[in-house]
Amino acid sequence: MRSIRILALAALTVALASCGSSDGSHNPVPGFLTLTLNTPHSNDGALLFKVSGGVIDSVAPFPMVQSGSYVINGGFTRVVVAGNLVDGAVVKVRVPDVQNASDYSVLIEQAAVRTTFAQQNLSGYSVTVTAP
């Protein structure tokens, strides 16, 4: 009787282990990725950046952004934000699978001074992409 229980337990363990996908794929988890700005300046008023690496369904600003706009293309999404921009979360992007956050990258294309709209030197800027 004991050997039947051990055999049944072994069969159950094998059955549970086989529930995962054998091809290494996973179930997608749709949701938002956060784009966080790190700026070397304290007087940024506007940023233009490009997000690449995968599909983006929509873009939503965080409170520091007073105005924003975006264009979703097939291979990338271009985002413009304006406001009193400092270090911190600027926008969140809705993606089909937050587990692929590392596939996304951000290139800052332009930055402008808040009061004069003069172009900032882009050295030292970065935007990180993080999943919840």
pLDDT digits (tens, 9 = 90+) for 64-115: 999 999 999 888 999 999 999 999 999 999 999 999 999 999 999 999 999 9
What is residue 117's predicted lDDT score, i.e. its pLDDT?
Answer: 93
The more confident residue out of 92 and 132 is: 92
CA distances from 130 to 65, 81, 92, 101 (A): 18, 19, 9, 6
User: How far apart, in whole angstroms, are the C-alpha atoms of residue 79 and residue 96?
Assistant: 19
Write the pLDDT tens digit of every residue in 27-69: 999 999 999 999 999 999 999 999 999 999 999 999 999 999 9
pLDDT range class, residue 23, cuts 50, 70, 90: low
What is residue 5's predicted lDDT score, i.e. its pLDDT?
Answer: 45
Q: With 80 as the cut, is the pLDDT of residue 4 above it? A: no
What is residue 51's predicted lDDT score, i.e. its pLDDT?
Answer: 97
> Which of 107, 109, 110 has its CA nearest to residue 128?
107
**CA 119 to mean position of chain CA atoms:** 26
pTM across the whole model: 0.79
Hey, what domains does the chain have and what are their CATH numbers? 25-130 (2.60.40.680)
3-state secondary structure of 24: coil
What is residue 17's predicted lDDT score, i.e. its pLDDT?
Answer: 45
Q: With 70 as the cut, is the pLDDT of residue 20 above it? A: no
User: How far apart, in whole angstroms, are the C-alpha atoms of residue 97 and residue 131?
Assistant: 10
